[in-house]
Amino acid sequence: SYGDGWNGAEYTISEVEGAELKDGTLTSGNYGEDHVCLHDDVCYSVLINPGSYDNEVTWEIGKYGVGLVAAGAGANSPMGCQFSTNGFCTTTCTVDDDDDSSGACSGMPGSGSSYSLMLYDSAGDGWNGAGYTVKNKNSGSIKATGTLGAGMSSQEDMCLPVGCYTLEVSSGGHADEVSWFLGDAGISGGAPANCQFAVGNPVNCPSYCEVEEDDNSGGGGGGGGGGGNH
């Protein structure tokens, strides 16, 4: 959260009854993505070894086309926490939240699901004219639109009913500095981008992201879907 990396904290992802699969850290900044190949019907563990400022450490693991499957904050127990990609075992990799509200959908029963879009800028000066738009694919109605006005990061909360949605990200003045992560949908990327994702189980709505050519900036911005957010 402070923007100076994990200060010595490290993660390790392993099979509960098998081999270590991936380890790493966030050396600098306030956001990074790593990718690891995980399978359904397997129980995995995440161990976070402590560093100097564990209260600044958070992480998420997303599955492409599904969304968030595990999350945590700070160092955990010596045994770590466990999760699976399809509910195969009990998930203990969760973040305690004392707030009983349901995010953007709080106070609106039956209106939809809360989705959080994380916006990042590597230079720390906002998106320089880039912006995002979330639309219902079938009706064309705009459900959310915005930008990162200043700074390195921002969280944009949305309340989305069941349906098929598009996410468009424009390039702005410095597309190579732009990245974003929609963990609830299991997609992430840079700018410009044209993506589709589902809320609930609508018909004919596969999740995908297309990176567009940007002749103005010379860079496509990066980040694949389904990585851990550290």
* Parallel, antiparallel or unpaired: strands 163-169 and 132-136: antiparallel
Residue type, 141: S
Residue 102: is its pLDDT beyond 50? no
Q: What is the pLDDT of residues 135-169, one digit of tens each?
A: 999 889 999 999 999 999 998 999 888 889 999 99
Any idea how long the chain is? 230
For residue 195, the surrounding DSSP H or E stretch is strand 193-199
Q: Write the CB contacts of 67 (distance below 8 Å, at least 6 apart in sequence).
A: 183, 184, 185, 186
Identify which has the larger pLDDT, 103 or 206.
206
In whole angstroms, give the CA distance from residue 73 to residue 94: 8
Instruction: Name beta bridge partners: 70.
Output: 61
What is the per-residue pLDDT for 137? 92
pTM of the predicted model as reported, rounded to 2 decimal places: 0.56
| Nearest 10 degrees: Cα torsion 137, 114, 48, 64 | -20
Query: Could you please report the per-residue DSSP string of 103-161?
Result: GGGTT-TTS-EEEEEEEEETTSB--TT--EEEEETTT--EEEEE---SBSEEEEEEEE-
